């Protein structure tokens, strides 16, 4: 042993001083066993006393949480830096461990996520949506591949969820179909179900062309048809009765108005 090294009492190796943890009561201010040996001893102790440790944690859950929270608040920067360094150095191992844990506790984790969503404030919901949008922009290809694979692996569940959503949100579903149709025609603009509802209210529930009351049996018409270069934006939408909309078809509004006269 030299002034720059020390012999570990566990493995018997002559190691640099920074391989030993600090110990105020030690003769040289260091632990007798090196960090690696102490780490190995700790892991073995946890294995040998797993049941005992679980019982202790269950009996002292709140006390442990309070202690951990206090320690984290005092050492937040150090802990975060240490975790980030470990994750960077062991990326694949961490990802695999995370995937395995999620697979084994999927329903439990989903219920926790739903509970957090139910109890979240409006500000927290806004922040969560903002983080999700930012993540999607930065990881678009990865997100699309994940969504594609999820649909393949969970086809029945996805189909049922889509069917239930379309049944419960008919106006939004129709708006999605109109927007998709417009995209296929390379039309500019888009609209939502709320845009259609606002137009319905402005027209007082009457047909834009014949002014008859339409009730719930109405169509949403593009005044300038998409086939003639019309936009898919709210300023090109009107509420029409089925007869007028089907008669108008892809005609220009002036041509159709002439026929009405």
Residue 161: strand, helix, or coil = helix
Q: Please give the pLDDT value at position 261.
A: 44
Q: Which of 4, 23, 25, 24 is nearest to 15 (CA)?
A: 4
What CATH code is carried by the domain that includes residue 196? 1.10.30.50
Mean per-residue pLDDT, 102-109: 91
Segment 213-259, tens digit of pLDDT: 999 889 999 999 999 999 999 999 999 999 999 999 888 888 887 65
Mean per-residue pLDDT, 165-175: 91
Give residue 190's pLDDT band: very low, low, confident or very high (50, 70, 90).
very high
Q: Please give the pLDDT value at position 27.
A: 82
Give residue 93's pLDDT band: very low, low, confident or very high (50, 70, 90).
very high
Residue 237 lies in a domain: yes
pTM: 0.50
Q: Please give the pLDDT value at position 258.
A: 63
What is the rounded distance in angstroms from the CA atom of residue 7 to the CA atom of residue 27? 13
Residue 151 has pLDDT above 60, yes or no: yes
Residue 180 lies in a domain: no
Residue 233 lies in a domain: yes
Residue 147 lies in a domain: no
Residue 49 has pLDDT above 70, yes or no: yes
Least confident interval from 1-10, 52-61, 86-95, 121-130: 1-10
Determine contact, residues 216/240, Cβ cutoff 8 Å: no
Residue 61 lies in a domain: no
Q: What is the mean pLDDT of the chain?
A: 91
Residue 156 lies in a domain: no
Q: Please give the pLDDT value at position 87.
A: 92
Residue 59 has pLDDT above 80, yes or no: yes
Structural domain boundaries, residue 200: 190-260
Q: Please give the pLDDT value at position 26.
A: 81
Segment 191-205, tens digit of pLDDT: 999 999 999 999 999
H helices within 27-169, ranges in order? 35-48, 50-59, 61-74, 76-89, 91-104, 106-119, 122-138, 140-153, 155-168
Residue 89 lies in a domain: no
Torsion-angle region of 69 (φ positive above 0: left; ψ -120 to 50: alpha; else: beta): alpha
Residue 29 lies in a domain: no
The alpha carbon dihedral of 111, 150, 104, 90 has a sign of: negative
Residue 24 has pLDDT above 80, yes or no: yes
Give residue 1's pLDDT band: very low, low, confident or very high (50, 70, 90).
low
Count of the separate structural domains present in the chain = 1
């Amino acid at each position: 042993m030299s002034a720059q090294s020390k012999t570990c009492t566990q493995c018997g190796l002559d190691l640099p001083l920074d391989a030993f943890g600090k110990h105020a009561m030690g003769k040289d201010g260091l632990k007798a066993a090196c960090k690696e040996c102490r780490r190995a001893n700790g892991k073995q102790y946890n294995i040998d006393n797993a049941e005992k440790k679980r019982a202790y944690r269950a009996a002292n859950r709140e006390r442990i949480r309070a202690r951990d929270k206090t320690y984290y608040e005092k050492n937040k920067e150090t802990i975060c830096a240490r975790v980030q360094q470990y994750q960077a150095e062991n990326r694949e191992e961490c990802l695999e461990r995370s995937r395995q844990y999620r697979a084994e506790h999927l329903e439990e984790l989903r219920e926790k996520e739903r509970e957090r969503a139910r109890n979240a404030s409006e500000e927290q919901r806004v922040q969560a949506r903002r983080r999700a949008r930012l993540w999607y922009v930065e990881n678009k290809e990865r997100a699309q591949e994940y969504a594609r694979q999820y649909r393949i692996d969970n086809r029945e569940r996805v189909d049922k969820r889509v069917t239930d959503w379309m049944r419960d949100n008919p106006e939004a579903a129709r708006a999605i179909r109109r927007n998709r149709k417009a995209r296929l025609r390379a039309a500019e603009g888009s609209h939502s179900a709320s845009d259609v509802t606002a137009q319905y209210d402005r027209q007082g529930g009457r047909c834009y062309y014949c002014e008859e009351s339409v009730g719930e049996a109405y169509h949403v018409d593009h005044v300038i048809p998409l086939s003639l270069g019309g936009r898919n934006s709210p300023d090109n939408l009107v509420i029409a009765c089925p007869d007028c909309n089907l008669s108008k078809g892809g005609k220009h509004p002036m041509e159709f108005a002439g026929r009405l006269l």
